[in-house]
Structure 1
């Protein structure tokens, strides 16, 4: 009986010491995240874009550039916006071809976190104005772009994550209705330089 109690006590002490050893090893192996500076955000990026509008979901890779306080899309993704205005797939394709590349600048401000290992970006989107050609007539289109969440530049892998939304579209002064918001999610963007 005494041997059984002593064996249980020794086993318990051994298990507890193993658990504490494992926890101390785990805490000692923490990854040190290199510090970043606000200027580290600047550069050329290639990003994964997930576009969601209702049940529709599409993915593609887009390029953009960040310089000082502006994120610039040399070719903003317009397909869903034009489709919402035009409605016809063939006319949408023709309108996109006629419009060519549309540049969009997105202003932002930055804040460096206390540990200096990530940067928070607060976006200030402005309206996107387009002339969409349909049946020989240009439709003046104004898209209200919003950023409902902040973006983050992560120091560990120098990647950027952010999201935008086209919340409202006005065509020739009339709000498009019904219209379901177009969400542009950029879950993983890497610097190419």
Structure 2
């Protein structure tokens, strides 16, 4: 008799716990994502940049700004580009110091998805033109940038994700060969205002 009562109690507890589990799962599906507008993307950002070139990988935090249809880097990351052109580590540091901050504007078109919970960005990168000083001479350098995939701005947490690639570098009219493309991955950028 005692075994039967214990069995009924255990069965009742088991049934109640299953019902609570199902009820809690049903409530989790109802997370509301606030609607996003194209204007929501405008502002200042701080982003994690992962730069990959062949076997080399580097990470750092960069700042940029988005306004209307342009993403602006007040200081575009140049170390890998200058290293590809100059090669000598000491001369690379001297060239970077002499060049200072290089601003780069990245144009894009934006569209809100059908559910209005994220914005899709289609980038239209322009070539980056640089004058890299080496041994008292400026090397005219043209970096061909491309965006193979679209960027996304999430309305849930106001974060942005995108990627760029330096596919080709030309120095004084001659393409660097061999050259490993430089990939600039921005997996998580947060809006600071």
- Would you call these one fold, judging by a TM-score over 0.5? yes
- Aligned twin of 2:47: 47
- Aligned twin of 1:36: 36
- Aligned twin of 2:3: none
Shift of 1:114: 1.0
Is 25-34 or 152-161 further displaced after alignment? 25-34
- Give me the whole-angstrom Cα distance separating, in 1, the residues matched to 2:26 and 2:100: 54
Q: How big is each residue's C-alpha offset from its partner over 1:65-108, in whole Å with a ceiling of 9 and x where there is no partner?
A: 00000000000000000000000100000000111110000000
- Aligned twin of 1:97: 97
- Give me the whole-angstrom Cα distance separating, in 1, the residues matched to 2:70 and 2:121: 11
Shift of 1:25: 2.8
- Aligned twin of 1:121: 121
Shift of 1:23: 3.7
- Aligned twin of 2:64: 64
- Secondary structure, in 3 states, of the residue corresponding to 2:35? coil
Shift of 1:24: 4.4
Unaligned runs of 5+ in 2: 1-6
- Give me the whole-angstrom Cα distance separating, in 1, the residues matched to 2:178 and 2:55: 15
- Give me the whole-angstrom Cα distance separating, in 2, the residues matched to 1:23 and 1:114: 30
Shift of 1:19: 5.3
- Aligned twin of 1:4: none
Q: How big is each residue's C-alpha offset from its partner over 1:28-49, in whole Å with a ceiling of 9 and x where there is no partner?
A: 2232111111000000001110
- Aligned twin of 1:25: 24
Is 27-36 or 60-69 further displaced after alignment? 27-36
> TM-score, length-normalised on structure 1?
0.89
Shift of 1:21: 5.8
- Secondary structure, in 3 states, of the residue corresponding to 2:25? helix
- Give me the whole-angstrom Cα distance separating, in 2, the residues matched to 1:23 and 1:133: 66
- Aligned twin of 2:176: 176
- Secondary structure, in 3 states, of the residue corresponding to 2:160? strand
Give the total of aligned pairs: 186
